[in-house]
Amino acid sequence: MKILLATGKKAEGMVKAALRTVNLPFDCEVLTQDLSIAAFSTPKSLKKALEQHSEIPDLILVSGLCKADFTGLEKEVATSVRLGPRNAYDLVETLKAADKLEFSAHIPAEEFLAEKRLEDAYTQLFELERQVKETFSIKSNKIGGGARMKVCAELVDATLMSETELHKKMAYFMNCGADIIDIGVHIGAKPAEVKNAVKAALNFAPDMPISVDTLDAELILAGIESGADMVLSVNKANIAAVADAIVGNDIAAVVIPDSDTSHESMFENLKLAEVHGIRRIIADPVLNAIGYGLAESIYNYYLFRLRDKKTPLFFGVGNVTELIDADSVGVNAVLAGIASELNAEFLFTPEYSAKAKGSVRELRVASELMMLAKTRKSAPKDVGLDLLMFKEKKTKPVMKIPEKDFIIANADAKWRLDPKGSFRIGIIELEDENTKKICAKHAPTGKRIVGTNAKEVMDTILRLGLVSVLEHVSYLSRELVKAELALRLNRSYEQDEVLFQHTPYLSQR
């Protein structure tokens, strides 16, 4: 196999330098066209360069930034022309896969590779889950036997929600990847409220497993009677009252110790559940928050797994993420990793506080990441999916220019009012779609431009001719990008306010 890397004069050195760093099992050469920028490649420029080359290759990779159509040239020279990466520093990764994949004529190679890895990861996850011989199932969810850890999302105080509110919250959690919806029961709840909440949940999603979260025996029975598939939590205080209903309906029960520090009572209560005939048993040794015995509780999980390698384990991740002022994504990833090493089957979380928003999606991705890593017997990296949000896997080269070639930026304190009017920018929630979008409301016309990203909103503003001053265009662009970032990161947005507040580090003197 022979590959030609078609480039321009400006990038020739970088492409050749990248090629020298990799050993390939095929021939690969650089083909420099008679143009400065590789992105401006055309069938004409490429054909002219090929005429100076001794033989036609099996594949030609052009810049990933190239917009030209090479279909005609491909037929003429009887070889494939595909998009390589947009930047030379991604060439090495591209070339390593060049003899295994058919690259795209429309998608840049690094983007194509990322999509392919993600597709392969989900294909593998589906196949792994299909092959699992589970300990038991909760509806269609396989539990144990090496199945993916299932994410249980709690609707906090679901018994106080209206049916519309409950359905909306369920739809959000299901869209985030929840495997089980947990009905959180408020203090002082009545059996009728539990029944209404469970029935409302099942009416909305009959195939979604529903659990009920309470220690009150009467409320557990109300949940079972109305169709719950799992109950949280069973211990010595309530098991005699609820065991017959659990057994009679053949549902799953999460068993907890009588106190969060009692390791032996965990085993005593599991034995008690077995004596009462409960078949689908899940153990929850209880994960404590940082400052309340996190290390000891993880140790209890470890001791549990040394003695009992088969009973499915319940891991209450939300106990930690809700009680730490840190971004939830990393905390959730690490705790899911610990749960995976303990062969846990459930990752439980609410999204009660604003800082824990997104935890259900984060835990779903983490559960998939850990399953792939465990299968490959590797660290949870380079498996095709990740939980990177603010940081990146690899840094890109920083452009370097001589000091004499730049102008120091300086903000202009002057401001001119745009004769066409002004905009109020915010994030709105569309009730019919249950989604959030960016909204720019124009005064004096009252027109509301709604979109999912800054570009489409700004393009619409320009197309409608609602701006006439360059400073206003610049300002709107900045604010719309801030709004898009807030939307993507589930943050609050306020026009003219800083999006990220950083706590300064003050060195002690």
Average pLDDT, the chain: 93
181 and 316: one domain?
Answer: yes
Note whether residue 78 is domain-resident.
Answer: yes
Q: Which of 92-96, 245-249, 406-410 has the lowest mean pLDDT?
A: 406-410
Task: Compute the half-sphere exposure of residue 152: CA atoms within 13 Å on the CB side of its CA.
Answer: 28
Give the SS3 label for residue 404.
helix
User: Helices 217-225 and 239-249, interaxial angle, to 10°?
Assistant: 10
Q: Write out pLDDT tens, residues 118-128.
A: 999 999 999 99
With 60 as the cut, is the pLDDT of residue 185 above it? yes
Q: pLDDT higher for 6 or 395?
A: 6
Question: In which band, very low, low, confident or very high, does the pLDDT at 433 lie, cut at 50, 70 and 90?
Answer: low
Give the SS3 label for residue 143.
strand
Q: Write out pLDDT tens, residues 282-302.
A: 999 999 999 999 999 999 999
How far apart are the C-alpha atoms of 262 and 267, rounded to whole Å?
A: 10
111, 145, 178 — which closes off a domain? 111
DSSP, res 323: T
Integer-rounded Cα Rg, in Å, for the chain is 29
181 and 326: one domain?
Answer: yes
Residues forming beta bridges with residue 153, ordered by sequence position: 181, 349
150 and 195: one domain?
Answer: yes
352 and 229: one domain?
Answer: yes
151 and 44: one domain?
Answer: no
Question: In which band, very low, low, confident or very high, does the pLDDT at 506 lie, cut at 50, 70 and 90?
Answer: low
pLDDT value of position 395: 78
Task: Determine which helix (DSSP H) or strand (DSSP E) holds 124, and give its type and residue range.
Answer: helix 109-131
pLDDT value of position 199: 98
**Cα 251–Cα 176–Cα 395 angle in degrees, nearest 5:** 135
Looking up residue 234, the CATH number of its domain turns out to be 3.20.20.20
Task: Determine which helix (DSSP H) or strand (DSSP E) holds 282, and give its type and residue range.
Answer: strand 280-283
309 and 209: one domain?
Answer: yes
423 and 282: one domain?
Answer: no
341, 376, 411 — which closes off a domain? 376
Note whether residue 118 is domain-resident.
Answer: no
78, 111, 144 — which closes off a domain? 111
Looking up residue 72, the CATH number of its domain turns out to be 3.40.50
With 90 as the cut, is the pLDDT of residue 156 above it? yes
Q: Span 76-103, mean pLDDT?
A: 91
Q: Is residue 74 left, alpha or beta, with left meaning phi > 0 and alpha meaning psi from -120 to 50?
A: alpha
Q: Span 195-206, mean pLDDT?
A: 98
Q: Span 485-507, mean pLDDT?
A: 82
With 50 as the cut, is the pLDDT of residue 509 above it? no
How far apart are the C-alpha atoms of 174 and 151, rounded to whole Å?
A: 10
Note whether residue 386 is domain-resident.
Answer: no
DSSP, res 158: G
Q: Span 199-228, mean pLDDT?
A: 97
Note whether residue 162 is domain-resident.
Answer: yes
**b or e along 133-142 (b: 16 or more beta carbons within 10 Å of the residue's beta carbon)?**
ebbbebeebb
pTM: 0.86
58 and 151: one domain?
Answer: no
Note whether residue 100 is domain-resident.
Answer: yes
Q: Which domain holds residue 100?
A: 2-111
Q: Write out pLDDT tens, residues 392-430.
A: 887 777 777 777 777 777 777 677 899 999 999 999 988
Tally of domains in the chain = 3
240 and 357: one domain?
Answer: yes
pLDDT value of position 416: 83
Percent of the chain topping pLDDT 70: 96
180 and 258: one domain?
Answer: yes
pLDDT value of position 148: 97
Contact 208, 181 (CB under 8 A): yes
368 and 415: one domain?
Answer: no
Note whether residue 98 is domain-resident.
Answer: yes
Q: How far lies 488's CA from each of 170, 329, 485, in Å?
A: 20, 14, 5
Q: Which of 144-148, 323-327, 429-433, 468-472 has the lowest mean pLDDT?
A: 429-433
pLDDT value of position 306: 96
Give the SS3 label for residue 46.
helix
350 and 462: one domain?
Answer: no
Q: Write out pLDDT tens, residues 338-357.
A: 999 999 999 999 999 999 99
Q: How far is CA 117 from the centre of its chain?
A: 15
Q: Write out pLDDT tens, residues 295-322.
A: 999 999 999 999 999 999 999 999 999 9
